[in-house]
């Protein structure tokens, strides 16, 4: 079981939420080559959403992946497969080529629990085009059990390859993960499972290990943990820890040394107190991210008071 597991590196896709995908072509190429040399099975090279549907006019190649551009950047595929993430209502199905004409191998669909039906429609479409597919149900820690059970029925009947347990808020612990994995395995025994964690409480790696040891096969991670807010499980930890002869730590260290130290000085992610607090409270990190962008960024007590005072609206637009 354990040897069937695969690492899916999200540095570009989830890390892009930190720096608005301000990644150089050189970095993305170095990352691809490094992950291939390290034996990492998948690299998520960005979002394949539609700039038109999002009303964005400025170019953003890793947010709005284009097959021709990808072919220029990665003229020759190496060991690592490529994946892209799409969001419901933001992807234009007409943008997706059949797999044999694309550099991409896998398309992952992110959705909230209420949109699982729409998500699976997209999955079906991408599956029929020849892609490996996954459904990533976000904000799992806030999903009522009953809604999840309904979703499982649809998932079980769909052609999706992998169903992800996504701890969007970084609020779960290893025992929670084991509980979720057990439930998912019982309810969708015909699907592979995946895990995507966030490091708000410094549990991203431990939670990923708990999932791995419970038989989850797709393990999401990012090099040096780069991902939104508290970031993700670190790719270098998975490559070090998982006993697979094909994994090599050194190429990942090379990427960190050449790029990530400097990037971390420029952009912020990781274990940071307001993100810890939002994890503990099982809240979306957006309020904490806004706080870190303000002049009060290091006022932790004030932030804590703000988010724990019941009458104060946290994020009026989205709660």
Binding residues for a copy of itself, rule: CB under 8 A, are 173-175, 199, 201-206, 209-210, 213, 234, 236-237, 240-241, 249-250, 253-254, 256-257, 261, 271, 273, 276-277, 280, 298-301, 304-305
CA distance 224 to 235: 7
What's the min distance (Å) between Cβ of 129 and a copy of itself? 38
Taking the complex as a whole, the smallest distance from the CB of residue 164 to a copy of itself amounts, in Å, to 21
- Of 81 and 284, nearer to a copy of itself (C-beta) is 284
**208 contacts 232 by C-beta, under 8 angstroms:** no
CB of 77 or CB of 250, closer to a copy of itself? 250
| Residue 274 Cβ vs a copy of itself, minimum distance, rounded to whole Å | 10
> Which alpha helices (DSSP H) does 100-140 contain, by range?
116-128
Sorted by sequence, the CB contacts under 8 Å of residue 78 that are 6+ apart come out as 32, 33, 36
Q: Give the tokens for residue 276.
A: 């810890």
If the CB atoms of residues 105 and 167 are measured against a copy of itself, the closer one turns out to be 167
Task: State how far the Cα of 307 lies from the Cα of 283, in Å rounded to an integer.
Answer: 9
Q: Is 130 helix (H, G, I), strand (E, B) or coil?
A: coil
CB of 91 to a copy of itself, least distance (A): 33
Nearer to a copy of itself, 153 or 257 (CB): 257
Secondary structure of 37-69 in the HEC alphabet?
Answer: HHCCCEEEEEEECCCCCCCCCCCCCCCECCHHH
Q: Whole-number minimum distance, CB 188 to a copy of itself, in Å?
A: 26
As measured in angstroms, the least distance from the Cβ of 249 to a copy of itself is: 7
The residue among 99 and 306 lying less far from a copy of itself, judged by its C-beta, is 306
3-state secondary structure 249-285: CHHHHHHHHHHHHHHHHHCCCCCCHHHHHHHHCCCCC
Helices and strands (DSSP H and E) totals, the chain: 13, 8
CB nearer a copy of itself, residue 61 or residue 174: 174
118 or 297: CB nearest a copy of itself = 297
In angstroms, rounded to a whole number, what is the distance separating the alpha carbons of residues 227 and 136? 16
d(CA 125, CA 129): 6
Residue 301: CB minimum distance to a copy of itself, A: 5
């Amino acid at each position: 079981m354990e040897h069937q597991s695969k690492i899916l590196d999200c540095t570009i896709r989830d890390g892009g939420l930190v720096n608005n995908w301000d990644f150089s072509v050189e970095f993305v190429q170095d990352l691809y080559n490094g992950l291939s040399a390290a034996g990492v099975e998948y690299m998520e090279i960005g979002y394949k959403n539609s700039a038109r549907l999002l009303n964005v006019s400025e170019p953003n190649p890793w947010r709005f992946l284009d097959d021709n551009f990808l072919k220029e950047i990665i003229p020759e595929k190496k060991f690592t497969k490529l994946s892209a993430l799409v969001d419901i209502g933001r992807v234009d199905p007409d943008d997706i080529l059949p797999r044999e004409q694309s550099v991409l191998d896998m398309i992952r669909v992110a959705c909230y629990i209420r949109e699982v039906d729409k998500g699976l429609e997209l999955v079906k479409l991408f599956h029929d085009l020849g892609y490996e597919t996954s459904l990533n149900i976000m904000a799992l820690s806030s999903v009522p059990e009953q809604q999840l059970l309904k979703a499982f029925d649809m998932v079980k009947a769909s052609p999706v390859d992998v169903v992800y347990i996504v701890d969007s808020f970084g609020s779960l612990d290893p025992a929670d993960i084991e509980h979720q994995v057990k439930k998912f395995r019982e309810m969708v025994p015909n699907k592979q499972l995946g895990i995507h964690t966030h490091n708000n409480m410094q549990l991203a790696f431990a939670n990923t290990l708990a999932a791995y040891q419970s038989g989850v096969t797709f393990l999401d991670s990012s090099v040096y943990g780069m991902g939104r807010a508290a970031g993700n499980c670190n790719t270098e930890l998975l490559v070090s820890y998982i006993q697979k002869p094909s994994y090599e730590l050194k190429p990942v260290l090379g990427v960190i040394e050449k790029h990530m130290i400097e990037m971390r000085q420029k952009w912020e992610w990781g274990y940071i107190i307001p993100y810890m607090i939002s994890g503990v409270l099982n809240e979306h990190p957006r309020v904490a991210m806004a706080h870190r962008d303000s002049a009060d960024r290091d006022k932790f007590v004030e932030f804590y008071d703000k988010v724990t005072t019941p009458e104060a609206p946290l994020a009026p637009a989205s709660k």
